[in-house]
Amino acid sequence: MPLLGLAQMLSLLTGPIGILMVVAGQERRWALLAGASFATNLWLSLGLTPTWGLIGAAAATAVALGVLTVLGIVEASRIMNGAFLDRKILKVLGVIVVGLAGGSLLVGNLPAAPAIRLAFLVAASTGWLIVATMMIGRDSEERELYGAVRARLSGHRS
């Protein structure tokens, strides 16, 4: 389950890249990247699923989406002369990895029903995300966004 969660997080980061490339007139290049991701997924699924079952299929999907994300970021950066690959994307990737890894470590040995484990994974990962964000620090845009959200939430409570 954590593998597929990580794959979906990577997929979220890829979404805007695909749209950016299509809008920039690079739809053929994006289609080639998606085809490379599909081929990676198919090849790894055929190799890993017979031996590892669902874990192998999840690992194949996670790796394929990771390939699509990395290739998409590299291509978008090349198209935009390096303007796309900035500190914020690396910061988001780092926070997501820390959050999922921390949550997975805490949930790994929890003897409970799957629904309880999933709820605990979400809570633990959220906690790790908050800790990682605080450790990395916020820039001025993030402080402004968090302040606006806090003001909006406090306005609804009164």
Same domain, 50 and 78: yes
Q: Is 121 helix (H, G, I), strand (E, B) or coil?
A: helix
Which pLDDT score is estimated for 89?
A: 64
First to last CA, the chain: 40
Same domain, 134 and 64: no
pLDDT at 100 exceeding the cut of 80: no
Same domain, 48 and 108: no
Same domain, 56 and 132: no
Cα separation, 24 vs 121, whole angstroms: 38
Which one of 54, 84, 114 terminates a domain? 84
- Tell me what the mean pLDDT of segment 29-43 comes to: 91
What's the chain's average pLDDT? 76
Higher model confidence: residue 74 or residue 5? 74
Which one of 84, 102, 135 terminates a domain? 84
What the block records as the tokens of 104 is 């997975």
Which one of 49, 66, 84 terminates a domain? 84
- Total structural domains within the chain: 2
| Percent of the chain at pLDDT exceeding 70 | 64
Same domain, 80 and 90: no
- Tell me what the mean pLDDT of segment 9-23 comes to: 72
pLDDT at 51 exceeding the cut of 80: yes
Helix, strand, coil abundance in the chain, percent, nearest 5:
85, 0, 15
Which pLDDT score is estimated for 41?
A: 92
Domain that holds residue 2: 1-84
- Tell me what the mean pLDDT of segment 99-119 comes to: 68
Same domain, 64 and 95: no
